[in-house]
Amino acid sequence: MAEETKNPLTRASAFIKEVWDEMQKVNWTSRAQLKQATKVVVLSMVVMAMFLGSVDFVSSFILAWFLELKF
């Protein structure tokens, strides 16, 4: 109940201080780990794009062939 009656500026400054204290506790990754993780993500995205592109190409080819058939 006491928190609700404080001045909004006091509450805001207390919030900023608490956020800063929590950010100091964070275990940040090193630059090398960040580079390695970025490479993994970019490579996996390229592989996924190639896979989806090839599936799209093959399925559109099969669909076009199927639509050209005369029954």
pLDDT of residue 69: 82
What is the number of other CB atoms lying within 10 angstroms of the CB of residue 70?
3
Q: What is the mean pLDDT of the segment spanning 52-60?
A: 97
The first and second tokens of residue 19, run together, are: 């956020």
User: Taking the CA of residue 18 as centre, how many other CA atoms within 13 Å lie in the half-sphere pointing to its CB?
Assistant: 6
pLDDT at 62 over 60: yes
Q: Is the pLDDT of residue 1 over 50?
A: no
For residue 50, what are the domain limits? 2-68
What value, to the nearest 5°, has the Cα angle with vertex 9 and ends 8 and 15? 90
* Per-residue pLDDT tens digits for 2-51: 555 678 899 999 999 999 999 999 998 999 999 999 999 999 999 999 99
